[in-house]
């Protein structure tokens, strides 16, 4: 199983161009991607999303990118209009206020706007390959972390399923005695009320049979065992089944509630409370699984 939280980072370099992709994921019902790309890489957004979607099926993922391209003199140009404007203002200050005009070529080149950087053009195929490589590396790292966390969550869920199975067995062992105890209480009550007078034993047995049928939880217990076994099978065989397990958890809760309402027994009521606590713990963990 995979968790929906994690982090992954990937870096790729082609012909001096470098792209770093970072992925940070948290819980979400579906796959939700929030991508931040430089304007020069906007055209590659779909490739990036497909690369992530091919490895991850659920979770909100923030995508951060850092792109750098080679710099050389051919990529820089001099804005003479801006330079002349600064020089003119410097001469004006010198003439009106006697401020020393100390501009040199090197100092002027450091003034904002005098030197302009031109975008480095590159074939789209090369950029797309860069994006795909970096994204796949980041996604692989993310999946690895999500898998490790998912394994820890699965182990915890399995331990809680063991406790759920134990409590189910306790209810199953207790259930057959409910009707017998009810019969004994009813006979005692009738005998006390009638002060030793005779009564219709058949009528009493009919009442006990109706009570036994009303409080029978055999079917619910059988379904609980089936759901628990199914849960374990899914955890062992399906890497991304968070939604399916969420539904199965609802079924566990439904059967438990039915047992609590039908059993009419204080001991079973205590077991039901404990069962619901364990199922709720499982439900909270399931929300973290892909």
**11 and 161 Cβ atoms separated by less than 8 Å:** no
pLDDT (average), residues 216-236? 90
**251 and 284 Cβ atoms separated by less than 8 Å:** no
Residue 201 or 34, more confident: 34
CB atoms < 10 A from the CB of 238, how many? Answer: 12
Burial class (CB in 10 A: 0-12, 13-18, 19+), 115: middle
Burial 59-87 (b: 16+ CB within 10 A, else e): bbbebebebebeeeeeeeeeeeebbeebe
Q: Which domains does the chain have, with CATH numbers?
A: 6-70+122-146 (3.30.230.40), 73-117 (no CATH), 149-286 (no CATH)
Locate all alpha helices (DSSP H) within the chain, ordered by sequence: 45-53, 80-97, 105-109, 124-174, 176-194, 201-214, 218-237, 242-263, 266-286
pTM over the 0.75 mark: no
Residue 198 pLDDT greater than 80, yes or no: no
Q: Among 40-49, 147-156, 189-198, name the one with the lowest average pLDDT.
A: 189-198
Per-residue model confidence as pLDDT tens digits over 232-276: 999 998 888 888 999 999 999 999 998 888 877 888 889 999 999
Closest CA to 163 of 256, 244, 72, 87: 256
Confidence of residue 201 (pLDDT cuts 50, 70, 90): low
Percent pLDDT > 90 in the chain is: 46
């Amino acid at each position: 199983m995979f968790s929906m939280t994690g982090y992954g980072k990937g870096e790729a370099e082609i012909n001096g161009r470098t792209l770093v992709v970072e992925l940070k994921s948290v819980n979400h019902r579906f796959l939700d991607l929030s991508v931040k790309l430089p304007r020069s890489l906007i055209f590659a957004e779909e490739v990036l999303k497909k690369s992530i979607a091919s490895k991850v099926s659920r979770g909100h993922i923030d995508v951060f990118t850092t792109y750098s391209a080679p710099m050389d003199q051919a990529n820089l140009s001099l804005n003479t209009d801006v330079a002349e404007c600064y020089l003119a203002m410097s001469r004006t200050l010198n003439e009106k206020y006697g401020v020393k005009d100390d501009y040199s070529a090197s100092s002027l080149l450091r003034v904002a706007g005098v030197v302009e950087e031109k975008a480095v053009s590159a074939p789209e195929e090369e950029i797309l390959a860069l994006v795909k490589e970096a994204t796949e590396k980041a996604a692989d790292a993310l999946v690895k972390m999500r898998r490790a966390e998912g394994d820890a969550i699965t182990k915890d869920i399995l331990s809680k399923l063991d406790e759920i199975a134990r409590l189910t067995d306790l209810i199953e062992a207790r259930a057959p005695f409910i009707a017998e105890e009810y019969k004994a209480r009813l006979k005692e009550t009738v005998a006390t009320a009638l002060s030793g007078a005779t009564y219709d034993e058949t009528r009493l047995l009919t009442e006990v049979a109706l009570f036994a049928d009303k409080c029978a939880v055999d079917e619910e217990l059988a379904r609980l065992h089936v759901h628990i076994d199914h849960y374990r099978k899914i955890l062992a065989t399906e890497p991304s089944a968070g939604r399916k397990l969420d539904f199965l958890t609802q079924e566990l809760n439904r059967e438990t509630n039915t047992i609590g309402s039908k059993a009419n027994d204080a001991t079973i009521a205590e077991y039901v409370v404990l069962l619901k606590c364990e199922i709720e713990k499982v439900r909270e963990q399931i929300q973290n699984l892909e």
